[in-house]
Chain A
Amino acid sequence: MNRERWEQVSEILDKALRLPPSERSVYLAQIAASDPELHREVNSLLASHEQAGSEFLNTLAAPTGFLGSRHPAIAVAA
């Protein structure tokens, strides 16, 4: 997928993820009418998003406050 197309997919996927289920299906139906290929792609990624759940790639996340300005060595100079 080229960059422009991926940007478009990203935008629509993001929008779809933010919508409540009822509005989402209306939105996706609009996309399907104008660009079926785009609709397929977004639908497939929505399914992956569901499957990924909350665990995928989140298991290595640092504990809160682990990095950042709280440690004296990492203090931001004024």
Chain B
Amino acid sequence: MQWKRGDQEAPRVLLPLVYDELRRLARHHLRAERSDHTLQSTALVHEAYLRLVKPGSLQLESRQHFFALASQLMREILVDYARGRRAAKRDGGNRLTLDEAAELSESKGVDLLALDDALNELAKMSPRQSRIVELKFFGGLRIGEISEVLGVSSATVERDWAVARAWLHREISRTACDES
């Protein structure tokens, strides 16, 4: 796969490909590691990257694009799973034989649907803060990597991360209270 510097079309062309690959990897991991509940979406993103990209063929800009894209897709995949799982529960809950969502969506007690909604709200006030959370939480990127992807200083990423986390925590807690 060639994805060169300055090739603006590449992300759009690759999007379905990356998405399919992430889904496939998610299913594969769930079958292979059902006894192991430590599956992390970040591992999937990493593995998808290695599978999709020929060694050494990516230059810096496209590597950044990839992680931004993969983080966004991982968010979509996990939220889709969580939504499907909630719908299945409403239908009676017993008809699923392989509940892929169960393990993927329960990331240590965070309600992914509430988080997804809150991130959409946050994006209206600060698109950058919302993206930082996406890159960090769903993509597993570190502060320095996020700083490269977004072209802002690490200090700015740290600041936005702390502020966004406080806001998201409050927002999700409120949602939880409203629902109970």
Interface residues of chain B: helix, strand, loop or mixed (majority): helix
> Given A13-B163, A13-B166, A73-B56, A60–B138 Cβ distance below 8 Å?
yes
List residues of B (120-154) whose CB comes within 8 Å of A's CBs. Answer: 124-126, 129, 133, 136-138, 140-142, 145
Q: Tell me if B110 is interfacial: C-beta within 8 Å of chain A.
A: yes
From B50, B54, B60, B108, A71 is in contact (CB under 8 Å) with B50
Cβ contacts under 8 Å, A60 to chain B: 40-42, 107-108, 137-138, 140
Cβ contacts under 8 Å, A17 to chain B: 162
Give the distance in Å from the alpha carbon of A57 to the alpha carbon of B137 in the complex: 6
Give the distance in Å from the alpha carbon of A9 to the alpha carbon of B178 in the complex: 24
Give the distance in Å from the alpha carbon of A10 to the alpha carbon of B161 in the complex: 10
List residues of A (31-78) whose CB comes within 8 Å of B's CBs. Answer: 44-49, 51-52, 55-57, 59-62, 64, 66-68, 71-77
Cβ contacts under 8 Å, B145 to chain A: 67-68
Q: How far is the CB of A30 from chain B (nearest CB, A)?
A: 19
Give the distance in Å from the alpha carbon of A47 to the alpha carbon of B133 in the complex: 20
Q: Please, how many residues of chain B have a CB less than 8 angstroms from a CB on the other chain?
A: 44
Flag if B169 contacts A52 (CB, 8 Å). Answer: yes
Give the distance in Å from the alpha carbon of A51 to the alpha carbon of B50 in the complex: 37
A-B contacts at CB below 8 angstroms, number: 114
Give the distance in Å from the alpha carbon of A19 to the alpha carbon of B94 in the complex: 52
Q: Tell me if B37 is interfacial: C-beta within 8 Å of chain A.
A: no
Interface residues on A, range: 35 or more
Give the distance in Å from the alpha carbon of A52 to the alpha carbon of B163 in the complex: 11
From B41, B45, B58, B126, A3 is in contact (CB under 8 Å) with B126
Contact mask for chain B residues 157-180; partner A; CB cutoff 8 A; 1 contact, 0 none: 001101101111110010000000
> Given A48-B170, A74-B49, A1–B108 Cβ distance below 8 Å?
no
Q: Tell me if B29 is interfacial: C-beta within 8 Å of chain A.
A: no
Flag if B162 contacts A57 (CB, 8 Å). Answer: no
Which residues of A line the B interface, CB within 8 A?
1-3, 6-7, 10, 13-14, 17, 44-49, 51-52, 55-57, 59-62, 64, 66-68, 71-77
Top 5 A-B pairs, shortest CB-CB distance: A62-B140, A6-B125, A48-B170, A62-B42, A59-B108
